[in-house]
Structure 1
């Protein structure tokens, strides 16, 4: 595959992807669906509790494998690789940001970010330099050595975003990234995500918040495992 073909390839490409949990009785968590998310897009996913949002996140994030259909990540057929290679794809190409920050309390902001590179065979100095650079990118250059307990909720989420970015993934996958934040802090995190998108990052945000959903270029809705899609009003204007 040439470099030009790699750039043209969508980051996420579902073809009739679905997931049914075996019974009895069998439960269809995601009905067969098609989905393409191109490089540099900002897509939000909404739906009520139990609608299939978590299932979609787990499939996109290579945490669960679909029971039917084909999922290409950066043009790679994720169903045709070994479990070890799936884990490598997940580590190298997907950055995860969760509602709960999942930071180690006894490690500084910089150390928390460095830990994301622990298995990349990078020299310690190289890990330190990259962690510092990405923390500066998210506006925390002045908080490198602070412990999570010394950080505000918004700062902790920024550390979590920095940790997700440090491996230079193809996709930033966010699950309710503002769910634990007050409105003012949530706005600052959304501003950060918009800035990353403007820099070319591909972002998928799963949320129950209509305001957060409206930040995307496209919104995917899931209801009873059925995926539908609409274009955000901000794209139409």
Structure 2
């Protein structure tokens, strides 16, 4: 599904900064890949390239066999909107919009028609256990509920790949476990996940573990099944 072939990223200087050294990685359908490393190691650069938010300065990035690094910006944006869902640490919910409206807004850039947006949003909220909270504003939701709304927003576009950037970073341990259990369930249902985390306990949830240090990507031996 997602393949890095010698993908690297160097930002211009002076002096130039190599954030990600040439790396190979193949993410297959149904994988749950966790990516960990210290601050400044290259995790964000990796995520930005995987999520088509940035392009490599060397190598080839393929999504479903398409060289997305070679696409025009508008085409890359369209592919990202249709094929990739994002879940962030800080939720990024609009405070004056209900849970339902926040989920619907996530589909606007994917070009989903209005009536279908409402239907998909309702279904996605039910899938994450928040069908009864559709009309609630974010300020009336707990941290775990807000993160589940954010996950519903990502799922509503029916992505092939779900990218999670420190999705439990702002949550207490009990709430984080609830969110991680939901991600486990999504993966068990066939969703392909790539999750960035600094927490080694969270990293161990993945079926595959990748580490990045000083821009160098390495994959650990497969972990035991959950």
Q: TM-score range by the shorter chain?
A: over 0.9
1:62-141 alignment runs, 5 A limit:
62-141=52-131
1:1-237 alignment runs, 5 A limit:
11-235=1-225
Task: Describe the superposition over 1:102-131 as per-residue Cα deviations: whole angstroms up to 9, x where unpaired.
Answer: 001111100100011224444422211110
SS of the residue corresponding to residue 231 of structure 1 reads: coil
TM-aligned CA deviation for residue 232 of structure 1: 4.0
Q: 1:34 to 1:122 in 2, by over 3 A?
A: closer
How many residues align? The count is 226
TM-score (norm 1): 0.93
TM-aligned CA deviation for residue 80 of structure 1: 2.1
TM-aligned CA deviation for residue 219 of structure 1: 0.6
SS of the residue corresponding to residue 233 of structure 1 reads: coil
SS of the residue corresponding to residue 211 of structure 1 reads: helix
Q: 1:218 to 1:120 in 2, by over 3 A?
A: closer
Q: Which runs of 4+ in 1 moved over 6 A?
A: none
CA distance in 2, matches of 1:63, 1:126: 26
Q: Which segments of 5 or more consecutive residues in structure 1 lack a partner in the other structure?
A: 1-10
Q: Which segments of 5 or more consecutive residues in structure 2 lack a partner in the other structure?
A: none
RMSD, aligned α-carbons: 1.2
TM-score (norm 2): 0.97
SS of the residue corresponding to residue 211 of structure 2 reads: strand
Task: Describe the superposition over 1:118-174 as per-residue Cα deviations: whole angstroms up to 9, x where unpaired.
Answer: 244444222111100010001101111111011000000000000011111111000
CA distance in 1, matches of 2:12, 2:94: 36
SS of the residue corresponding to residue 89 of structure 1 reads: helix
Task: Describe the superposition over 1:183-224 as per-residue Cα deviations: whole angstroms up to 9, x where unpaired.
Answer: 000000000000000010000000001111000001100010
Deviates further, 115-124 or 101-110: 115-124
TM-aligned CA deviation for residue 226 of structure 1: 0.3
